[in-house]
């Protein structure tokens, strides 16, 4: 059930699969006989220098996948010289993640019904040195993830014959689950503003806090409250990208939530050129959903993304090898990018242009 929560998408998982086939429809056009002895993958994202243009997308409850959780991913990102984004629904708190890794960090946020909780999150992020906020806008309601329904997945794990059998067949996972501190919604559990009603659990409270009445005015209010670098994550429509910039967003993350929300959303790589045109340099554009290979990163950068983000790749790596697994995944991605840039005839990120990419 934990694997399915990580791996799965919504409905028939068409969008999930298309995130991969989307990239495969774009080809690369090399320039030969270039001096490619030294390849430099560094770039600058919202004023922060990174050694690798691959950032960590926010994912909730990361300790479910490996007991070292968010801290391990944040540390691996820092070692690779890139940015880690912590989810609002993380299993490690804003403060504990900041203490575990001095690397650059962003915080992902939702619009909660109780606006005081949003202000509290912002203050905690300021105090803990988070550089940017990232508002997720593709989750007005929860996507229909049928693997999770089939598996009776809940947080905390509820005891049914099926879930008991599942966890008993994974004794190492079970050992860590029982012997380490409880996996919880770490950012909300101790907040004095959180008032869990009688007969309600924390997750039920948080589910009620998701505000489906949210509009652009609320996003604009959040940008004003934060007053620093602010990204909007989950945009695929060029018109929405324009509106995001109009209300003051400094960055846009093109994303379909890794195929976990609305089925049949477009592949990010397909809408990237349109969004680049609509935004015309007024904000930085990032992209996630389906990035797996060095060539995927190169295609996105060539078509105008400042950097890409990844979710599942670091979660698979974390689940199988802990922090060392994430280190290894990032090493592999970096090695692929260096090789691919050399074969393409480019030595730095700014060499990449739309002329390097053509569609089938
Ligand atoms: C297990 C899991 C949990 C996620 N949790 C969050 C979250 O809490 N907030 C959020 O904005 N996005 C969340 N996402 C979406 C990721 O931030 C990202 O958009 C997506 O994973 C990118 O696609 P990829 O997994 O194909 O790289 C989650 C994704 C996964 C796989």
DSSP string covering 292-338, please?
A: -SHHHHHHHHHTT-SEEEESHHHHHHHHHHHHHHHHHHHHHHHHHHH
In 3D space, the residue among 284, 322, 333 whose CA is nearest the CA of residue 305 turns out to be 284
Find out whether the beta carbon of 232 lies less than 6 Å from any atom of ligand 1: no
Distance, in Å, from the CA atom of 63 to the CA atom of 61, rounded to the nearest integer, reads 6
Q: For residue 184, count other CB atoms closer than 10 A to its CB.
A: 19
DSSP code per residue over 38-64:
S-B--EEETTEEESSSEEEPP-TTGGG
Q: What domains can be seen in the chain, in order of their start residue?
A: 2-359 (3.20.20.70)
Q: Given a cut of 90, is residue 282 above it in pLDDT?
A: yes
Predicted confidence band at 210 (pLDDT cuts at 50, 70, 90)? confident
Tokens of 108: 């992902």
Atom of ligand 1 nearest to the CA of 255: 19
The beta-strand segments (E) located in 178-280 are 230-235, 251-254
User: Ligand 1 mean position to 218 CA, how many Å?
Assistant: 22
Among the ranges given (103-107, 200-204, 281-285), the one the predictor scored with the smallest mean pLDDT = 200-204
pLDDT in tens, 68-122: 999 999 999 999 999 999 999 999 999 999 999 999 999 999 999 899 999 999 9
Position 157 confidence tier, pLDDT thresholds 50, 70, 90: confident
Q: Is the dihedral of CA 205, 209, 210, 212 positive or negative?
A: positive
pLDDT band at 195 (very low <50, low <70, confident <90, very high): confident
Sign of the dihedral through C-alpha 336, 337, 342, 344? positive
How confident is residue 169, by pLDDT bands cut at 50, 70 and 90?
very high
CB 174 within 8 A of CB 167: yes
Report the sign of the C-alpha dihedral through residues 232, 79, 177, 92, in that order.
negative
Strand, helix or coil at 350?
helix
| pLDDT over threshold 90, residue 263 | yes
Residue whose Cα lies nearest atom 14 of ligand 1: it is 59
State if residue 293 touches ligand 1 by the CB under 6 angstroms criterion.
no
Atom of ligand 1 nearest to the CA of 312: 25
The residue whose CA is least distant from atom 20 of ligand 1 is 258
Q: pLDDT digit string (tens) for 145-156? A: 999 999 988 877
Determine the atom of ligand 1 nearest the C-alpha atom of 16: 26
Ligand 1 site, residue 22, Cβ cutoff 6 A: no
- What pLDDT, on a 0 to 100 scale, did the predictor assign at position 200? 80
Closest CA to 242 of 286, 300, 281: 281
Distance from Cα 344 to the centre of ligand 1, integer Å: 30
Which of 64, 20, 50 is CA-nearest to residue 330? 50
- Lookup: tokens for 248: 């003051």
Cα separation of 67 and 240, whole Å?
38
pLDDT band of 192, cuts 50, 70, 90: confident
Compute the chain's Rg from CA coordinates: 20
Has this prediction a pTM greater than 0.95?
A: yes
Q: Does the pLDDT at position 329 exceed 90?
A: yes
Show which residues are catalytic: 257
Q: Is the CB of 288 under 6 A from ligand 1?
A: yes
Is the CB of 68 inside a 6 Å radius of any atom of ligand 1?
A: no
CB 310 less than 6 A from any atom of ligand 1: yes
Q: Left (φ > 0), alpha (ψ -120 to 50) or beta: where does 61 sit?
A: left
Cα of 71 to ligand 1 centre, how many Å? 17
């Amino acid at each position: 059930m934990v694997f399915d929560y990580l791996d799965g998408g919504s409905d028939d998982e068409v969008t999930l699969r298309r995130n991969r086939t989307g990239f495969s429809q774009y080809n690369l056009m090399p320039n030969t006989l270039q001096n490619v002895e030294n390849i430099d993958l560094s770039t600058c994202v919202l004023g922060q220098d990174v050694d690798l243009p691959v950032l960590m997308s926010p994912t909730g409850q990361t300790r479910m996948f490996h007991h070292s959780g968010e801290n391990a991913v944040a540390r691996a990102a820092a070692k690779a010289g890139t940015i880690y984004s912590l989810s609002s629904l993380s299993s490690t708190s804003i403060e504990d993640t900041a203490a575990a890794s001095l690397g650059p960090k962003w915080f992902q946020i939702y619009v909660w019904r109780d606006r005081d909780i949003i202000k509290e999150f912002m203050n905690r992020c300021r105090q803990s040195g988070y550089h940017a906020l990232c508002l997720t806008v593709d989750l007005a309601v929860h996507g229909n993830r049928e693997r999770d329904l089939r598996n009776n997945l809940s947080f905390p794990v509820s005891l049914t014959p099926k879930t008991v059998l599942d966890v008993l067949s994974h004794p190492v996972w079970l050992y860590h689950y029982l012997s380490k501190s409880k996996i919880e919604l770490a950012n909300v559990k101790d907040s004095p503003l959180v008032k869990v009603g009688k007969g309600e659990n924390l997750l039920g409270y948080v589910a009620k806090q998701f505000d489906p009445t949210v509009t652009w005015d609320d996003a604009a209010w959040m940008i004003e409250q934060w007053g620093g670098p602010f990204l909007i994550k989950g945009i695929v429509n060029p018109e929405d990208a324009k509106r995001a910039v109009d209300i003051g967003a400094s960055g846009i993350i093109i994303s379909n939530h890794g195929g976990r929300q609305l089925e049949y959303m477009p592949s990010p790589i397909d809408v990237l050129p349109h969004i680049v045109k609509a935004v015309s340099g007024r904000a930085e554009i990032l992209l996630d959903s389906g990035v797996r290979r060095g060539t995927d990163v190169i295609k996105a950068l060539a078509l105008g993304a400042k950097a890409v983000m990844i979710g599942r790749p670091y979660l698979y790596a974390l689940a199988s090898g802990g922090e060392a697994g994430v280190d290894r995944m990032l090493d592999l991605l970096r090695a692929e990018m260096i090789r691919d840039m050399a074969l393409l005839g480019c030595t730095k990120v700014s060499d990449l242009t739309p002329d390097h990419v053509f569609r089938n």
